[in-house]
Structure 1
Amino acid sequence: MNARRTPWWHAAIALVLGLGVGAGVAVLGESSGTTLIGTPWFVPVVLGAIGVVALVLALNVHKYAATDPKKRPKTFVNPAVAFNTLVLCKSMVLAGAALAGWYGGQIIPTLAHIEGSFYGQAVLECAVSAAVCLADMVIGFVGEWLCQLPPTEGPENPKVKGQQRQGTLAGAAAKTVR
C-alpha cells in the first residue's frame, strides 16, 4: 500500500472553512439571542489527550520502522496498529485544522463584546481550544512523517540506484576503452 502525505493546503482549506462556519454560527447566535459560542473545558483536555496518544503511537511505529529488520522483535508493532496510527494522524491534520478554524471563527465576532463576563469566558474557552486543535494539527503532520517506512531494497532504493548507475557507467567505460 502506498499512502500519500496530507498536503499542507488541505489543512489550510479546512482552517479557512472552519473559520467561516465558526464566525457565521457566532453571528447567527448573536442575532437570534441564543448562546452558540464557547466550549466546555473537557473538550481541549480530551483533544490534547488524543494528540498525546497519537504522538506516542507514531513514535512507536517510527521506532519499529527505523530498527534493523533482523533485530526487530516480532510483536513490537502490529501492522494494523501502524496503519490505524497513520489514519489517526491524517485525520488529526484535517480535524485539528477545521476545529481550530471553528473555535477561532467564534472569537472574531465576539471580540466586540469581550468586556462582558460571558463573552470574555467564551473567548478564553475558544482560544484554548483553538490552540489545542492547532497543536493536534501539528502532531498529525509530525505523526504522518514518523509513520513513513524506509525504502525497501527494491528498485526505488537510492542505494540500489547508485549501484546500478555505477555498474552501467563502469560497463560503458569498459566498452569505450576497448
Structure 2
Amino acid sequence: MFRILLGLEDCPGLVWNFKGEDLAKLKTPDRRMGVVFQTLDLFPHMSARENILFAARARKVENAKAQARLKHLIEVLQMSSFIDRKSAILSGGEKQRVALARALMGEPRLLLLDEPFSALDQELRDESRRLVKSVIDAENIPTVLVTHDQKDVEVLATKVSEIKNGRLITD
C-alpha cells in the first residue's frame, strides 16, 4: 500500500484526494511524503547528520532552512549525543530517530510509518512511541501507521482502519 501511495508502484485508475489535490497524478517527489520503513533504510556509511541532510537535498530544501530544521529535529528527537556518528554503529532506537528526522526534514504533507518500532525491545518501543507521538502532534502532520502491534495503535492512533483479506475495514 505504501509503495502505491508513494508512487513507487503503479495503480491504474487510482484517485487519491488529499486536501483537495489528487496526489495520484503527481510524480513521487511532488507528493511530498515522509516515510519510515520497517527496515529504516539508513545509509550505513553516512553519519546521522548526513543521512538527514541527504533528505533535505533530495527534497531541494534550501541550505539555511535545512540547517535550521536539522537543529530543531536534533533537539526535539534528542539526537545531539549521536548526530555525528556513522549510522552503522547506532543503536536501534537511535536509528529509528534518525529515520524519523529524515522523513520529517522536507516538511512532508503526510507521514507514512511502516512497523517503525518492530526492531526495538519493549522498553525502547514504549519510549519511541511517546517520542513519535509528541513529534507528530507538535508537527501537526497527518500520519498513516501500519502495524501489527495493538500498543502502537493505542498510543498513536486517532482513527483506526483495518485491512483484512485485501479489504479495508473501518472502525
> Does TM-score exceed 0.5, indicating one fold?
no
Higher helix share: 1
What range describes the TM-score normalised by the shorter chain of this pair? Answer: under 0.3
Tell which structure's C-alpha radius of gyration is larger.
1
Higher strand share: 2
TM-score, length-scaled by structure 1: 0.26
Higher relative contact order (CA 8 A, sep 6+): 1
